[in-house]
Amino acid sequence: MSISLFLTLLLQGCLPTPILTDFPYQLDSATQTFELPMALKEISGITLGFDEKMLVAVEDETGRFFTIDKTNGAVVKEVTFWKDGDYEDVEVVNGEIYAVKSNGNIYRIQKPATPEQVVVKYESPLSKACDVEGLAHEPAKNRLLLSCKGNYGGVPKSRAVLSFDLKTLTYDTIPVYTIHWDSIVAFIRANPTLDRWEKLQEVFDPSQPELSFSPSALAIHPINGQLYLLSSVGKLLLVLDRQSGEILYIQKLSKKVHPQPEGICFDTDGTMYISNEGKEGLPLIHRFSYQPKK
């Protein structure tokens, strides 16, 4: 069954998936927090770096990437790769960096941070309404996933995740996942034990004209394979089953801890990093230990 068909059936009355009862992170209490320099005030995306000792980040005003020591948050390198623009997220794949603009254009940075650095630009066929903000690598299918912040394909109160094939270097405009307002509401109503359940009810009030969930970043968990989607709008984290597209979990984030969450990535051991723009202070990266129930 295709994911689109599954979600259609879900909207027609299938029961929501049971809640993920063993969510392995304490999102209100970071294991460690790094304050970043103001050069990263508009930090918009992070990913695990080349040698797994570093993180790589972009910010949404200049065509630069930053390497950051993941043990202390220190900026190690700052490298220009393209002219100024609205760069929203970043991924490292086989030693190369991929950065994405809000219009969906992808920039492939080969031999990054060396004298031989070369950048290849892939023009996006996506409409402006998509408003790409997230980029994730899916190794199992050799592709990148792109999350749309806005409505896609004229479907109201929905958000789409699209893909870019790393073998053919082409975009697929048919969504891999489509997340509908109705399915989120059904999941919340079926799971009143969710943290801050009342707040979630308010965020997804039926009277709201727009969906208060606009993915600003996404990442695939390296151990369980689930897809994590972070939304600065509404301060939300949503988890999907990557195979079926079913919602497994949703949490309303504390705005004191996450004033403007814009980036998410994982270390190989499951450690999660969430970056926050410097909305009213310094930009931050929070580190959260992976604590699965035994």
Report in angstroms the alpha-carbon separations of 117 from 55, 82, 93, 97, 219: 19, 11, 15, 11, 26
Cα(214)–Cα(37) distance, rounded to whole angstroms?
A: 26
In this prediction, residues 222-244 reach a mean pLDDT of: 97
Q: What are phi and psi of 84, to 5 degrees?
A: -60, 145
In the block, residue with structure tokens 């109201």: 156
Cα(288)–Cα(253) distance, rounded to whole angstroms?
A: 14
Max mean pLDDT among 5-9, 12-16, 199-203 falls in 199-203
> Around Cβ 253, how many Cβ atoms within 10 Å?
23
Strand 272-276 to 284-288 pairing: antiparallel
7-22: burial string, b at 16+ Cβ within 10 Å, e else: beebeeeeebbebbee
* In the chain, % of residues over pLDDT 70: 94
Cα(249)–Cα(243) distance, rounded to whole angstroms?
A: 15
Strand 87-93 to 32-35 pairing: unpaired
CA-based nearest residue to 40, from 6, 23, 11, 65? 65
In this prediction, residues 188-199 reach a mean pLDDT of: 94
Q: What is the pLDDT of residue 283?
A: 98
pTM: 0.93
Q: What is the pLDDT of residue 13?
A: 43
Cα(51)–Cα(235) distance, rounded to whole angstroms?
A: 31
* Secondary structure (DSSP) of 168-206: TTEEEEEEEEEEEHHHHHHHHHH-TTSTTHHHHHHHT-T
Each residue of 46-86: pLDDT tens digit?
A: 999 988 799 999 999 999 999 999 999 999 999 999 999 99
Each residue of 81-121: pLDDT tens digit?
A: 999 999 999 999 999 999 999 999 999 999 999 999 999 99
Domains of the chain: 3-288 (2.120.10)
Q: What is the pLDDT of residue 85?
A: 94
